[in-house]
Amino acid sequence: MSDLIPITPTYGLLLGRGVLERVPEVVPHSATRVLLVHAPVMLDAASRLAEALRAGGREVFVEELPDAEAAKTADVLVRLWSVLGQAGFTRTDVVVALGGGATTDLGGFVAASWLRGVPVVQVPTSLLGMVDAAVGGKTGINTPEGKNLVGAFHEPTAVVCDLDLLRTLPRRDLVAGTAEVIKCGFIADPRILELLDADPDAALNVDGEVLPELVRRAIRVKADVVSVDLKESSLREILNYGHTFAHAIEQVEHYSWRHGDAVAVGMVYVAELSRRAGLIDQQLVDEHRRLLRLVGLPTSYTGGRWADLLTAMSRDKKTRGATLRFVALTGIAQPTRLESPDPQWLEEAFAAVSTER
């Protein structure tokens, strides 16, 4: 398909309005069976997609998942393995994941783990899913000890992003998704920040032209990174800007926080930490807060529990032994790594995000 945006040499992404109907085009021709997993709110879209896939002569098994992070559990994974086993899925059959980031994370891991890897087509329906979760081949589930600690790298056959599906999102979820877009602006593409600063309302208008441009730019940032570092051996770590503290919040709050909200606070936290390490000045810290607030994202965490948060951060995937590592900045679009920061800086940064400024 000539209009696929290349992500890596092995797969591409279809982005546009009304492209859900084109999912059967990217399902491998060899697939005779399809497991279609979907978020609860995607029931109608899943029914339409299932009929389109059946029209091509495929046998389609439709499974509704629990909502959001509740889908990313071992119990749900085992249930889906049972469906695949009873249906006789082979290595040429395919999983299609229709939903937000939690759905695509789980769907990808189901595909990665069945028969040591079957094809998966990702169909993200949230802003977060389109710019982050569904792109790049990361898959996984959560455990009581942390987020995404069990998973695999498994590239999809294709990613299909239908911008019309963003209309199904509650505004609060759309706002939360912009955190990952803003992250891409801070680590790689300052134009993202300029567009958002110029017209925050347009950045949240699903029917306008600014939001699609922001989506394209954020996807391009991630594609440029994963095309050279699929398995997070070096460069790909920059995509985790703000995520170390964010994942700690999510775990401590038992995944009741939206991922994007946690990432927004996580970016402010690491900015405060970076200032104390002498990497950036106070002006850039303030710019984090200002831009995040423009779209209605939180910039503080008032839940306390510093000891629990520190323990959670010590289990982060970027940690090596006893060494805490953070993606940091030395300036906009100038990411770096901050290792073993002074414990006093860690606690001072936490104090700084514990009160609204």
> From the first residue on, what is the mean pLDDT of each consecutive set of 10 residues in the chain (357 residues)?
67 89 91 95 94 93 93 95 96 95 94 95 93 84 85 91 91 94 96 96 93 92 75 70 94 92 97 96 97 96 91 73 84 93 95 85
Same CATH topology for 5-168 and 171-353?
Answer: no
Q: What is the pLDDT of residue 184?
A: 95
CATH architecture for segment(s) 171-353: Up-down Bundle (1.20)
74 labelled ligand-binding: no
pLDDT in tens, 144-161: 887 888 999 898 999 999
Q: Is residue 254 annotated as part of the catalytic site, yes or no? A: no
Query: Which residue among the candidates 38, 154, 247, 275 is catalytic per the annotation?
Result: 247
DSSP structure class, residue 28:
-
Residue with tokens 């092995």: 10
pLDDT in the model for residue 1: 42
Dihedrals phi, psi of 274, to nearest 5 degrees: -65, -35
Instruction: Indicate the CATH number for domain 5-168.
Output: 3.40.50.1970
Render pLDDT for 200-251 as a digit per residue (tens, 0 to 9): 999 999 999 999 999 999 988 988 887 765 555 556 688 899 999 999 999 9
- The per-residue pLDDT for 2 is 43
Domain segments of the chain as ranges: 5-168, 171-353
116 is catalytic: yes
Cα 32 from Cα 159, distance rounded (Å): 20
- Rounded to 5 degrees, what are φ and ψ at 258? -65, 140
Is 29 annotated as ligand-binding?
no
The amino acid present at 265, given as its one-letter code, is V
Paired tokens of 200: 């925050």
Q: Is 333 left (phi over 0), alpha (psi -120 to 50) or beta?
A: left
Say how many C-beta atoms besides its own lie within 10 A of residue 17's C-beta.
Answer: 14
CA 50 to chain centre: 25
Task: Give the pairing of strands 5-8 and 11-16.
Answer: antiparallel
The answer to the question of whether 180 is labelled as a binding residue is: yes
